[in-house]
Structure 1
Amino acid sequence: MTSQVKSAPFQKLGYRWRLANKRLVLPVLLIAMLAAPATRELTVSVLADAFWQVAAYVAITLALYHSLSERLSHQSAVTLRLKSSRRYQVVFASVMGALPGCGGAIIVITQFVRGQLSFGSVVAVLTATMGDAAFLLLAAKPATGLFIIMIGLVVGILSGWLVDTLHGGAFLQPQNAEATASCCRTTSSRNQAPAVRWQGTFWQWLLIPSAVIAVMGSFQLNTDALLHLPEGSITVLGAFFALIAMLLWSLSRDIQGYQDAVSEDPKSDKASLFQRVAQDTNFVTTWVIGAFLCFEVTIKLTGWDIAASLSHWSAALPLAGVLIGLIPGCGPQILITSFYLHGAIPMSAQLGNALSNDGDALFPAIALAPKAALIATVYSSLPALFVAYSYYYFFE
């Protein structure tokens, strides 16, 4: 009996190694591309860029974000005062949505379901949030990321106030105020996979060194020479670390449905800071690598200039960005942001996507208040269309 208990974690790990685990598809494909001489150089370059230019910055940003969140979460005086004014509720919701990641938006959704926030707050948070795509944009283009976040914050506040004026604060609130969002982001620590702990250990050791090397690379310093390493060592090392991060993400959970592929993994209620950082960082990194590979392999195989081709459809691109933003989950939105960073789509399309996308917050909204989620999503797409096409006509 004892041996059966001890072997349980290894049985679960073996289950995740099985070929039916769809998360292993991308790591296996990458290993095959690394083994093939024709695609090895391209794959190493994509993996290294994703790790040093994105993952390292996302990890350090998430570490700061989660550290601050833990300290601020204990101050409940602000949340108690929100009950007195719907206008403050909308401002609070927009600020929570403007925070990178999906945690703030999910908090607002659950508070709406419990009757603590107005429907306008839901529209505000869904308009303001960029989800995990904000981390990618802040890592690659900090000034642009902050600009879009501020636009989302302002548009979210104005949209929320307008909706509350039209419908009132109790509009579409579920009757069951005791409904909880246990389905959203938290799981029991007993279900925590060994790979989740390994992810935390991985980033605990690499967080500071990778951030230092990433900053050195951003300043165009020769990191190989400065660290007295053979030429190309940092590139190979980055590719290796990126592949390990993807493997750990693949082993942490199987794909049972759409949400498992496109959203952050649920966090254990006992998860450490580094485990939380690692789970979100590796999720973002995996989608970024997939997007980068799609872009680079398409160009290599076909010679297709995506940016030039899409320029003929420039008037439709803001609409496309808004429509893709309606797809639940952060994965598709990371894909759009990756295309923007490669110059394939214009700023107007990125703006439309940033304002219309709801990140992972749409999953608990659909589960707990489906009618409110649908109407709020439609409402958030209207200012997204207005802002995207305003930017298109005035600046592009």
Structure 2
Amino acid sequence: MQPDTVGRQSKAAQRAGKAILGLPEQFGPMRTNRMLLALLLLAFAAMPGTLGEVTRGALEDAYVGVAVFVAATLLLFYGAEKAFGFDIGTTFRNAKLAQVPLAALLGAMPGCGGAVVVVAAYSSGNVSMGAIVATLTATMGDAAFLLIAKRPEAAMILLPTSFIIGILSGYIVDLLDKRSYASETAQLEIPMIGRARKRDYVYLALILPGLFFGIAALAQVEFSGLIADFSTALALCGITVSMLVWATSPIHSMTNPDDSAVTRVTEETSFITAWVILAFLLFEYVNAFTGLDLESLFNTVGIALPLMAILVGFIPGCGPQILVTTFYINGLVPFSALIGNAIANDGDALFPAIALNPKAAFVATIYSSIPAFIVAYGFYFFAPNFL
């Protein structure tokens, strides 16, 4: 079968799938696996009994406890970026010795956008290897949103610590490694969606009241009756829209900087929310249906636990890191494992780094693993019960 025939059949299947689900043609390219997973998730939430109750609770917690804060943070960040736009490449070139702390600052910001900016600047020859190491060491990726929402006191320690370690690591690398790993051929290509869509404004409209319930939850305000029912219904509506966006998204995880701020918020928050839901459901399902004592299981690993968390950090993407953060939030792993994972992981920034320059990505990952190991085991031996 010819490639163009396969392409036509694939597009026809996409159109048929959207027609069955009642989605308009312009809604986006449907990803069948994601759509089936989203429909299965919503089916579980509609079921009676323990399965439905556990699923609804996890979805509400993911939306009200995490997604609304991710969206609010990204809206502030991308809105400011649009309002005060500047050429980051020129800024880095002129920064000289300030390159490393600037790169670490971008990496330390929640999410992966700042780190991706530095990766792209390195590919263009505007920053040093030390800047790449600084941003990848400082970044916690999308897991930072989850930690800030659920354990802000831990985030207030971890994020500044990673930022400082990123600066130190970057300067040391620039001092000791004078080689250039820059690639002149690779290009960072992120699909552009274009102007804001109706679903972006629908998503934002659901986020605003959700933020009220999220702040109330942080203040430990409990609702009952109709207000509690409304909170659950709002969360399920928000999750449904989020899953539809995620299942029909043309992007991998990061959006194009030229897209509207509202579109970028909708797309990236939906992507992050999908991973948060997966992590929350995994934990809740294991607790509710297997009888497995995860805390005892992790305790048997002992001294190897921080090392395991660091190795998980080497996996590209934010999903595995969100899972480690979820384990920490639920008291299953110590702070030493969390900070080791946070320093070692590069989040979604590792994907463009690999695409742009695999050698530089590998070297930077190895460099960032050294402070991760030192800091993680420093906390493990000298502050085992920290936070």
Q: How far apart, CA to CA, are the structure 2 residues paired with 1:107 and 1:395?
A: 35
Residue equivalent to 1:143: 153
Q: 1:298 to 1:103 in 2, by over 3 A?
A: same
Matches within 5 A, 1:1-396: 11=15, 14=18, 21-38=32-49, 39-74=51-86, 78-82=91-95, 85=96, 87-168=97-178, 170-174=179-183, 176=184, 179=185, 181-183=187-189, 186-189=190-193, 197-224=197-224, 229=226, 232-253=229-250, 260=252, 264-267=253-256, 269=258, 271-396=259-384
TM-score by length of 1: 0.84
**Higher mean C-alpha displacement, 145-154 vs 319-328:** 145-154
Letter matched to residue 339 of structure 1:
F
Deviations 1:125-168 (A, max 9, x none): 11111111111111212221132111111111111111111112
User: Does the CA contact (< 8 Å) of 2:116 and 2:349 recur in 1?
Assistant: yes
Secondary structure at the counterpart of residue 267 of structure 1 = coil
Q: How far apart, CA to CA, are the structure 1 residues paired with 2:244 and 2:326?
A: 21
Q: 1:363 to 1:11 in 2, by over 3 A?
A: same
User: Does the CA contact (< 8 Å) of 1:187 and 1:268 recur in 2?
Assistant: no
Q: How far apart, CA to CA, are the structure 2 residues paired with 1:331 and 1:275?
A: 22
Letter matched to residue 55 of structure 1:
A
User: Does the CA contact (< 8 Å) of 1:199 and 1:245 recur in 2?
Assistant: no
- Shift of residue 35, structure 1, vs aligned partner: 4.0
User: Does the CA contact (< 8 Å) of 2:30 and 2:248 recur in 1?
Assistant: no
Q: How far apart, CA to CA, are the structure 1 residues paired with 2:192 and 2:42?
A: 33
User: Does the CA contact (< 8 Å) of 1:24 and 1:247 recur in 2?
Assistant: yes
Q: How far apart, CA to CA, are the structure 1 residues paired with 2:323 and 2:117?
A: 25
- Shift of residue 231, structure 1, vs aligned partner: 5.2
Letter matched to residue 32 of structure 1:
A
- Shift of residue 51, structure 1, vs aligned partner: 0.9
Q: How far apart, CA to CA, are the structure 2 residues paired with 1:189 and 1:237?
A: 27
Residue equivalent to 1:3: none
- Shift of residue 341, structure 1, vs aligned partner: 1.3
Letter matched to residue 72 of structure 2:
I
- Shift of residue 230, structure 1, vs aligned partner: 5.9
User: Does the CA contact (< 8 Å) of 2:206 and 2:234 recur in 1?
Assistant: no
User: Does the CA contact (< 8 Å) of 1:98 and 1:153 recur in 2?
Assistant: yes
Letter matched to residue 188 of structure 1:
M
Q: How far apart, CA to CA, are the structure 2 residues paired with 1:148 and 1:349?
A: 12
User: Does the CA contact (< 8 Å) of 1:197 and 1:275 recur in 2?
Assistant: yes
Deviations 1:64-103 (A, max 9, x none): 1212233443266743422xx3x32111111111111111
Q: How far apart, CA to CA, are the structure 1 residues paired with 2:128 and 2:81?
A: 23
Q: How far apart, CA to CA, are the structure 1 residues paired with 2:91 and 2:16?
A: 43
Letter matched to residue 204 of structure 1:
L
Residue equivalent to 2:25: none
Secondary structure at the counterpart of residue 303 of structure 2 = coil
User: Does the CA contact (< 8 Å) of 2:275 and 2:322 recur in 1?
Assistant: yes
User: Does the CA contact (< 8 Å) of 1:136 and 1:284 recur in 2?
Assistant: no
TM-score by length of 2: 0.86
Q: How far apart, CA to CA, are the structure 2 residues paired with 1:308 and 1:12?
A: 49
Q: How far apart, CA to CA, are the structure 1 residues paired with 2:37 and 2:257?
A: 25
CA-based RMSD of the aligned residues comes to 2.7
Letter matched to residue 314 of structure 1:
G
Unaligned runs of 5+ in 2: 1-10, 22-28
Q: 1:248 to 1:368 in 2, by over 3 A?
A: closer
Q: How far apart, CA to CA, are the structure 2 residues paired with 1:221 and 1:63?
A: 25
Q: How many residues get paired?
A: 365
The share of aligned pairs that are identical, in percent, is: 39
User: Does the CA contact (< 8 Å) of 2:191 and 2:250 recur in 1?
Assistant: no
